[in-house]
Structure 1
Amino acid sequence: MTRSRYTAGGALATALLMTPALLFGASPAAAAETDSPINVGADGSVATDPAYDGPQITEIRVINEQKYLEIYWDRYVDEIEAVSPSNITLTNGDETVALTPKPASGRTDTIFFDQNNKQMAATDANSMERLPDDLHLASIAYTGTIDMSKPLTLTVTGSAIVDEQGRQAKDAVYTDVPKLDYYTQSVTTETGIVVKANARVAPETLTLAAEQVDVELAKTETGIAQQMADFGCSLAVYASRENAYLIPEHRGGYDPEMYDVEGYGGSTYNNCVSSISERNVLRTRGNADPFLNTSYPNENILIHEFGHAVRLVGIETMDDTTLSDEFYAAYENAYLTGLWPNTYAIGNSDEFFATLSAIWFNVMAEKPDWSDGVRSPINTRAELKEYDPTSYAFFEKIYPADLTLPAPWDEPAPDEYHGDYTELPEQEPRVSATDVEFGRDLFRISTQTVSGDFQIDRFAGDANHPDRDVCVWFTWGDGVWSIDYDNGLYTISASDGSGVLSAISDTEVRYAGIEADATDDAQKWRLSPDTSTPDAPFDGQLINEANGRALTLSDRAATGVSLTLGTADEGTRWMLEDTTRTEAQGTAAYITPVTVTLTPRAQDAEAEPAATRATGVHAAAAAQDAVTIDVAQQGFTLPDITDVFGADWSRDGYTFSGWRVVSDDSILPADWVIPDGTTALSLEAVWEPASVTPPTTDPAEPGDADGADEGTSPGNAADPASDAAGELPRTGADIAGTVAAAVLALMAGAGLMLMRRRNSAGNRQ
């Protein structure tokens, strides 16, 4: 206790002693001082201090190929703090460059490349495990533009960045940061393709890769090679101890869960850059360092990945669609006839093209049967001709049949197994999403085609329509949309808050920069179920509420195809997958669109007027019309009879008992849910006559002697109305007794006459 009091007293005394200094503007002695600015070399190098034992920066640059700031350290440092904009500030002249923060989880554009990256090590993929010991790269994405005519300066709060021993880096300012090429060497193939790499790749590897590209593109009369060269297609080779995600064009959207691949395909959306690992180019096998060996000793990944660019750039961008149409017909034939079952190839048209490219050059691995899910017994050109002659005929038009790949890929993959088996593709299991939270869950908007499933993504990927900011891509990752729902209408917003999907005309849609407006029907969409596909209960057309036009692909489904608006019969069939619920339920979980018809009276009541189709919250034209509306199974509740989508259906003289399904007498409970698998449903209101209470006799009614006006005799009261009409005056007397007596007399007389007739008849007998 004494020590605590002493410490507190000492702190107070220190504060009091410091007060005059603070008032007079002196700096506290404990404040850290920043060293003089450090000049960055023209090559990005930074001089280090050999006397300092804390972490130090060795190189800084902004790269030309993509928007990344690269900061190289001399060791592993805190992977979160090293890329945090809180600790890193980049200024361009007087302007601060906007750096992209790294999210706590999921895909990211900003990442720390290091074999000791703890986030990556915690995943099954651990895609950074192979990185070299001397690579410690903070790769930070930025937005906007950099003007290199103005100075580029980096300020680092090093005290927040520590190594594994807890030693801090220095607070420092780095001036004259250069903008440099990531690739430092390249060769150009005879067919016009640039093969490039950084300094970690051996020059002879580039030469070998270029030779493989020239064999793949040798049939120049097709125009494919020239088309690719015109688009600036290139092949990036990365070192055996690097991973594909270091390639600038493939760095964006880094998925920590994605395994360590040996290459990626090129397309117009990534500057037509394909990538390949040096270890596969060299076909390295049996090295003592396992990270130097290819994982695919019998599979040429260059032919496969560069094959993606052959199709997506070399063929699909041609004005003449002949080759594109022929390929699509070959794939469709294979899909619909059950060829290539349980293989990677049949999954979508892109992988079909790339896989069969490797088979054409006899550099595809095989499996003994058709149960692998990736490979099959068919892995050579000769087997392709026999098993799938339609596809063989197409590839014969674009690839050479008389050339062999250079060593070490001149040795074909082993071919021990053969087979001829077909089986129609098994569809992905899909279920209705449960416990959906509109406005909070993430959604994927996708369409199912013969070429595979494509999702709507938030970027401009259509070279023919660069002004459009949404296109489709093969399904990947989690959803990128947030959806709000209200009475049959969906508002589709970017999950990062960057805009709302809206119709901006009768043909165009956009999302970026459009602010949410609950009164704007152009931002609202109705998912109308496609009843022609009962085996696919989750698909439907997205109809814009403002113009009634349907969201549709502008071309045949393929990567990068943009979206437009067309007539309802032209609309693409879309599915809304709640990826948040998919993760929770363990199976792809979807919103179920249902067309519901509500009828105000049961069918056994009087005839109903014709149904009026409501769109969203707009009610039927007349208050008592039947109404048909497209709803989400997960968002539908039985309406109150006084507010049926805006109309009051209550009836005088009747009590509303509830709703029932047409042809079913059971009244539905208030918490009733539309059954799974339902695409259309008719409900009708059930009524009961309101109970009527008999009227009671009022003692003050006229004609009651006890209730007559005081001082007036009922027998003498005159009727002014009768007098005015010239009628005989009413006496006010009660004649009911007289009438009753007359009736009784008549009945008695009739009875006597009947008796006399019977007596007469008896006498005659």
Structure 2
Amino acid sequence: MKNFYLLNIKWFYFLGFILFTLQGCQKDDSNGTEDESIYEDPNNSSGRFSEFITCSIISPPNEVGLSSYYKKYINCSGIPIIGNADVPDEALQIASETVEFMLTGLGNVRNKLISDGNYVALYPEGGSIGDLPENFTNNGNTGNYTNNNTLKAAASDVASLLCRPEAGYGHTLVHEIAHMIDGGALRFISPASQSELSNLYNQAISSGKWNNTYASTNPQEYLAEGVTIWYGVNWIGPEGGDGLRNEIGTRGQLQIYDSGLYNFINNYFNNKTAVPGCREPVISGTTANCPPTITDIDGNEYEIVNIGPMCWMKE
């Protein structure tokens, strides 16, 4: 009986040694395939860019077929951000974080955008949408989203991402990703959302809401402007509007002013706050008189920049 007991102990240690050795081999194998793990698709979706996932800024992979104009590529979310050599790495990283921020919790939306090969193209400071090779509609706006048989992409500026004083407008990328979520996903996976949105828009306009603002243009701009307000990164204008914006600039104000739009966004978008990057409004008004710095309740001091009629706090 004693020998049998000792034999069992020996087998126990022998098997333990084998398992330990196998685990060590598996770990070594994963280290040897580091590049493969970088390009894993986190959503198990198949699309144009889904085999080239990386949170580092790299040269665009040849396999994805982007124009040679583009020299930088980052793709943490399955929807890549691209730019030419003049687009700062900081802007690419903020844009990547912003896309991830807006798609958090929207699994079906994200998967649709990935499977259709959507991406975001940034143009550098001092440039315009017309500089990009995709032939986006260039009507003088700072951003665009196109979804057709040959192009599924958003174009956005760098200046508003980096809070440049000359960027006297709201958060272009948040506005365009709102279009992407709506026009690139919701209208396909939730067709009823489109009639719902149109009805809300018609009701709002007929009741006198959004007069003298860009939100009054059509249901799509109504939603995109509402989303930038939802996330607190729109340019706040004067009461009654200035042709582009009015005094509604926060989620709470939106709920009171247009509860229908508020509820629509609450149903189809996430309720996260604190958009990545440098934008945090601290003062609004038609002629904001910005202090050079501001100190929060914890004693942290932040530099203030004036963008249009608003003062913004840098991170």
The two structures have a TM-score, normalised by structure 2, of 0.64
Query: Normalized per residue, which structure has more helix?
Result: 2
Aligned to 1:326: 196
Aligned to 1:366: 236
Of residues 177, 183, 187, the one that matches 1:306 is: 177
Aligned to 2:72: 185
SS at structure 2 position matched to 1:329: helix
Q: Distance in 1 between matches of 2:260 and 2:67?
A: 48
CA RMSD of aligned residues (A): 2.2
Of residues 216, 220, 229, the one that matches 2:114 is: 229
Are residues 1:317 and 2:203 paired?
Answer: no
Structure of greater relative contact order (alpha carbons < 8 Å, 6+ residues apart): 2
Could you give the per-residue CA deviations for residues 299-338 of structure 1, whole angstroms, max 9, x where no partner exists? Answer: 11111122222211121122x4233333223222212322
Query: Normalized per residue, which structure has more strand?
Result: 1
Are residues 1:200 and 2:86 paired?
Answer: yes
8 Å Cα contact 1:193/1:235 also seen in 2: yes
- Shift in Å, 1:270: 5.8
Aligned to 2:130: 245
Could you give the per-residue CA deviations for residues 175-226 of structure 1, whole angstroms, max 9, x where no partner exists? Answer: xxxx962212211132x211111112122321111111111222314x2222
Q: Distance in 2 between matches of 1:316 and 1:379?
A: 26
Aligned to 2:270: 400
Aligned to 1:389: 259
8 Å Cα contact 2:241/2:247 also seen in 1: no
SS at structure 1 position matched to 2:121: strand
Aligned to 2:48: none
- Shift in Å, 1:371: 4.5
- Indicate how the Cα distance of structure 1 residues 351 and 185 shifts in structure 2: closer, same or farther if over 3 A, else same: same
SS at structure 2 position matched to 1:281: coil
Aligned to 2:302: none
One-letter amino acid matched to 2:152: C
SS at structure 2 position matched to 1:186: strand
SS at structure 2 position matched to 1:333: helix
SS at structure 2 position matched to 1:279: coil
Aligned to 1:294: 167
Aligned to 1:271: 151
Q: Distance in 2 between matches of 1:270 and 1:278?
A: 25
Aligned to 2:60: none
One-letter amino acid matched to 2:81: V
Equivalent runs, 1:113-512 vs 2, <5 Å: 181-190=68-77, 192-221=78-107, 223-250=108-135, 258-259=139-140, 261-268=141-148, 271-285=151-165, 293-296=166-169, 299-318=170-189, 320-409=190-279, 411-412=280-281, 414-415=283-284
Could you give the per-residue CA deviations for residues 111-142 of structure 1, whole angstroms, max 9, x where no partner exists? Answer: xxxxxxxxxxxxxxxxxxxxxxxxxxxxxxxx
Aligned to 1:124: none
- Shift in Å, 1:346: 1.3
User: In the comparison of the two structures, how many residue pairs are matched?
Assistant: 221
Q: Distance in 2 between matches of 1:373 and 1:396?
A: 26
- Shift in Å, 1:367: 2.0
Aligned to 1:735: none
- Shift in Å, 1:343: 1.4
8 Å Cα contact 2:200/2:260 also seen in 1: yes
- Indicate how the Cα distance of structure 1 residues 307 and 250 shifts in structure 2: closer, same or farther if over 3 A, else same: farther
8 Å Cα contact 1:267/1:308 also seen in 2: no
Q: Distance in 2 between matches of 1:280 and 1:314?
A: 25
Structure 2 regions of 5+ residues with no counterpart? 1-65, 287-315
- Indicate how the Cα distance of structure 1 residues 247 and 383 shifts in structure 2: closer, same or farther if over 3 A, else same: same
SS at structure 2 position matched to 1:406: coil
Q: Alignment identity in percent?
A: 25
Q: Distance in 1 between matches of 2:150 and 2:237?
A: 33
8 Å Cα contact 2:71/2:85 also seen in 1: yes
Q: Distance in 1 between matches of 2:267 and 2:118?
A: 21
Q: Distance in 2 between matches of 1:413 and 1:398?
A: 28
One-letter amino acid matched to 1:367: G
8 Å Cα contact 2:82/2:120 also seen in 1: yes
8 Å Cα contact 1:219/1:398 also seen in 2: no
SS at structure 1 position matched to 2:74: strand
- Shift in Å, 1:276: 1.1
Q: Distance in 1 between matches of 2:125 and 2:94?
A: 15
- Indicate how the Cα distance of structure 1 residues 312 and 214 shifts in structure 2: closer, same or farther if over 3 A, else same: same
- Indicate how the Cα distance of structure 1 residues 180 and 233 shifts in structure 2: closer, same or farther if over 3 A, else same: closer
Q: Distance in 1 between matches of 2:199 and 2:109?
A: 19
